[in-house]
Amino acid sequence: MTKRQTRLFFVVTTLGFAAIFIGLTLHTHTRFDELTNADRIDEQVIAGKRVWHQGNCVNCHTLFGEGAYYAPDLTKITDHRGEQYLTAFLRDPSRFYSEKTHRRLMPNPKLDDAQIAAVIAFLDWASDVDTAGWPPRPILVAGGTFPGTSVVNATAGPAVPGQADAARGEELFRTAPPGCFACHSTTPGVKLAGPSLAGISTRAAALVQSPEYTGAAEDAAGYIRESILEPNAHIVEDPMFAANGQSFMPATLGQDLSDEQLHHLVAYLMTLN
């Protein structure tokens, strides 16, 4: 290439790529309303955004990956935790975490119930914004396993239609959604937002025979299935796990699972004995 050709190449490609970049930026801007579900921004969501600012939540948390990195990103928190749990958590975070074990504690934000409902509505709106998967970090507080670092006991083989596969179930358990691992540890005695599921199949078999059991399952697998589909059928006794007969485990998780996925999950949990 001559000097003149080189210069021309530089100018043309630079201008070309600049034009593409500006075009894509403008295109994104024209789609803001659609990407952010602008029609869902009601009074409640706006009030919640105000609570978010007044509470300086962003001093510790990130939303859409923006903010401080002291505490977990909250972009998808309502999908992971559900409204019941979040309401109880925001009323008093110290009921759920201990400074001693988790080495950090969210101060009580001292919100009234209307402010709590508003900030949850705001976070729920945020969770539906199409961020193309951003931020990529898993949203975890203490415990749990980060995807990619989990120790899956066996690799899932090719799917056999209609056959439950515990390895597939374990994979499901550790991925989000459904995000079971964000609330349940499989290490004995480790309480996260939900009870440890270590030994669940043995425990469940004894439970369904006992007089305290309030659900309709007849065996351990049935109990596990019921726990996922109808968390309120039998609630594990603990003030950290439920309030007013409402389990903090979202009742919607089962609806998002196919029958097959549910079979895999139950098969996996049945191996924890």
d(CA 45, CA 106): 23
Contact 29, 35 (CB under 8 A): no
**Which amino acid is present at 226?**
E
**Is position 145 an interface residue for ligand HEC (rule: CB under 6 A)?**
no
Can you tell me the distance from the alpha carbon of 129 to that of 49, in angstroms, rounded to the nearest whole number? Answer: 14
- To ligand HEC, the closest distance from the beta carbon of 169 in angstroms equals 9
Is residue 215 involved in binding ligand HEC (CB under 6 A)?
Answer: no
Half-sphere exposure of 224 (CA within 13 A, CB side): 25
Using CB under 6 A as the binding rule, whether residue 117 contacts ligand HEC is answered as no
Distance CA(78)–CA(127), nearest Å, equals 7
Task: Specify the amino acid at residue 257.
Answer: L
AA identity, residue 114: A
Contact criterion met (CB below 8 Å) for 172 and 265: yes
Q: Is 45 in the site for ligand HEC (CB under 6 A)?
A: no
Which amino acid is present at 78?
Answer: T
Span interacting with ligand HEC, options 26-34, 68-76, 126-134, 148-156, rule CB under 6 A: 68-76
**Of positions 5, 107, 136, 155, contacts ligand HEC by CB under 6 A:** 107
Select the span of 17-25, 128-136, 146-154, 226-234 touching ligand HEC (CB under 6 A).
226-234
Verify binding: residue 125, ligand HEC, rule CB under 6 A: no
Of positions 184, 208, 221, 270, contacts ligand HEC by CB under 6 A: 184
**Residue 166 or 200: which CB sits closer to ligand HEC?**
200
Smallest gap from Cβ 41 to ligand HEC, in A, equals: 18
Residue 76 burial by CB count (10 A; 0-12/13-18/19+): exposed, middle or buried?
buried
Which residues 6+ apart lie within 8 Å of 163 measured at CB? none
Q: In this chain, which of 9, 10, 21, 70 binds ligand HEC, going by CB under 6 A? A: 70
Residue 186 contacts residue 194 (beta carbons within 8 Å): no
**How far apart are CB 24 and ligand HEC at their closest, in Å?**
33
Interaction of residue 121 with ligand HEC, rule CB under 6 A? no
- From 4-12, 29-37, 94-102, 152-160, span contacting ligand HEC (CB under 6 A): 94-102
Q: How far is CA 35 from CA 75, 76, 118, 239, in A?
A: 14, 15, 21, 39
Interface residue with ligand HEC among 41, 47, 67, 71 (CB under 6 A) is: 71
Which residue among 250, 263, 264, 272 contacts ligand HEC (CB under 6 A)? 250
Q: Burial level of 238, CB count in 10 A (0-12/13-18/19+)? A: exposed
Contact positions vs ligand HEC (CB under 6 A): 55-57, 59-61, 70-72, 74, 77, 80-82, 85-86, 89, 93, 96-97, 102, 104-107, 109, 119, 141, 178-180, 182-184, 193-195, 197, 200, 203, 224, 227-228, 231, 235-236, 241-242, 247-250, 253, 265, 269
